Copies of this chain bind each other. A is one copy, B any other.
Amino acid sequence: MSTRGLRERVRDELIGEIKDAARRQLAERGAAGLSVRAVTRELGMASSAVYRYFPSRDALLTALIVDAYEGVGEAARRAESKIARERHLDRWLTVFRAVREWARSHPHEYALIYGSPVPGYAAPDDTAAPASDVALLLAEIALDAAAGNGRTDGSLPAESGGVSDALAADIEALKSTFPSVAPPDLAEALARTPTSAILHVIDAWTMLFGAVSFELFGHYRRVIDARGDNLERLARKAAAPLGLH
């Protein structure tokens, strides 16, 4: 029993070491420059040994993708948790800032998840939850703010018009997927949230990563230098339609 557990533990440890070395390589040379041979050289093992643990180079990259999603999500959540709960706008802005900071300090890992998709990478189901983490965090803050603003039902303001039937149906369908990626109370509250408010959160999520990607991928070069200031301004703009000021 314990012997078998030990064997598995050694295996898990080695998998961890491989991933760590691969992450170092990734940070230095980028995804295209990640070589399993270089990884094994760093670890002092034969290149073929890696294939006992990862079926292919792409599989190793996929493992790093999952970790990276958890990395951004945790960074955002950790920063946001330090802000007083009733300071809703501060919490919202903190999420934007934390994502940007994580991206700037892990540029290649960020590019791995929000840049061009890896060819052989078909998003596994266990990626769904961590990938939507930041969006859910934004939704949670928006809900808290609505509740704090005296709306006893805790719901966000509804708007009419501008939303096609197909899009409205999509959001209805989305609501039914929340229980599998969010805690029950949040999922339930979101199910009661108007479609327009959920769309505003999706917009904010899109704007956040759109702006961070533009910054990291060089599209703001010779356009905007004060990119932190710009993101904060954008965050406020995205928050306004949700009643967050």
The 8 A CB mask of A95-117 against B (1 = contact, 0 = none) is: 00000000000000001101111
List of B residues within 8 angstroms of A27 by Cβ = none
B237 & A31 in contact (Cβ 8 Å cutoff): no
Spot the interface stretch: A37-45, A47-55, A147-155, A225-233: A225-233
Contact of A5 with B by CB under 8 A: no
A170 to chain B: which residues have CB within 8 Å?
223-226, 230
- Write the A216-245 contact mask toward B (1 if CB under 8 angstroms, else 0): 011101111110011011101100000000
Count chain B CB atoms within 10 A of each CB in A169, A221, A224 and give the residue with the most. A224
- One digit per residue, 1 when the CB lies within 8 angstroms of any chain B CB and 0 when it does not, for chain A 69-82 equals 00000000000000
Residue of B at shortest CB range from A110? B116
In the complex, the chain B residue whose C-beta lies closest to that of A108 is B116
List residues of chain B with CB within 8 A of the CB of A116: 30-31, 111-112, 115-116, 217
* Dominant SS among interface residues on chain A: helix
Q: Is the CB of A123 within 8 A of B214?
A: no
Task: Output the nearest chain B residue to A131 by Cβ-Cβ distance.
Answer: B219
- Which B residues are in CB contact (< 8 Å) with A203? 207, 234, 237
Q: Which residues of B contact A112 (CB under 8 A)?
A: 116
From known contacts A119-B32, A237-B203, infer whether A167 and B230 are also in contact, taking CB-CB under 8 Å. Answer: yes
Which residues from B are CB-within-8-Å of A230? 167, 170, 199, 202
In the complex the two chains form, is B167's CB within 8 Å of A226's CB?
A: yes
Name the CB-closest residue of B to A177.
B222
A115, A199, A206, A214 — which one has the most chain B CB atoms within 10 A of its CB?
A206
Contact assessment for A163 and B233 in the assembled complex, using a CB-CB cutoff below 8 Å: yes
Specify the chain B residue showing the minimal Cβ separation from A221. Answer: B123
Interface string of A147-191 (1 = CB under 8 A from B): 000000000000000111011011101100100000000000000
7 contacts between A and B (CB under 8 A): A114-B213, A163-B233, A164-B232, A167-B226, A202-B224, A206-B207, A213-B213
7 interchain residue pairs of minimum CB distance: A210-B210, A115-B116, A166-B226, A111-B116, A164-B229, A167-B229, A167-B226
